[in-house]
Structure 1
């Protein structure tokens, strides 16, 4: 039952933390900037990969491919930060 309850609450519980309004703004802004940077990096890496592959520059294409994987990983870690932000206020009372 605890897992189902945790899965249904998607956003962080800012009510358990003092100065919740300021914390909500900071976390929301960081998550937004993180996702925007990850998407921007992915677009640039994919474009560079395509141009480098078509022109025969295999070393640049390999670096752009690594950039794509880093961008996808960055987006995944940014999404995981929301789960971590949910978990920290929940674990606090149990310490």
Structure 2
């Protein structure tokens, strides 16, 4: 049995794919910028002995990594679900 979603069933689905791809690119770019800024804040604050700000920089790094992982894994997860749908 070959079951696959009909991506051409809706009008404008090509435009929707482009918008989602652009949003994913912005999410990944913002996550990378946040990672760089938070890492710099973490390093400068730790070297100056300001451990409260260093802790906030560390949290920013972890949030940026989590956001990048979630944004990148969303595409892989959706492709995995589509692949499973073919085998049901």
TM-score range for the pair, normalised by the shorter chain length:
0.7 to 0.9
2:26 maps to what in 1? Answer: 33
Residue 27 and residue 88 in structure 1: after superposition, are their counterparts in 2 closer, same or farther (change >3 A)? farther
Matches within 5 A, 1:1-95: 16-17=6-7, 18=10, 19-87=12-80, 91=85
CA RMSD of aligned residues (A): 2.3
Higher RCO, 1 vs 2 (CA within 8 Å, ≥6 residues apart): 2
Structure 1: runs of 5+ lacking an equivalent: 1-12
TM (normalized to structure 2)?
Answer: 0.77
The structure with more helix, counted as a fraction of residues: 1
Residue 88 and residue 22 in structure 1: after superposition, are their counterparts in 2 closer, same or farther (change >3 A)? farther
TM (normalized to structure 1)?
Answer: 0.72
Structure 2: runs of 5+ lacking an equivalent: none
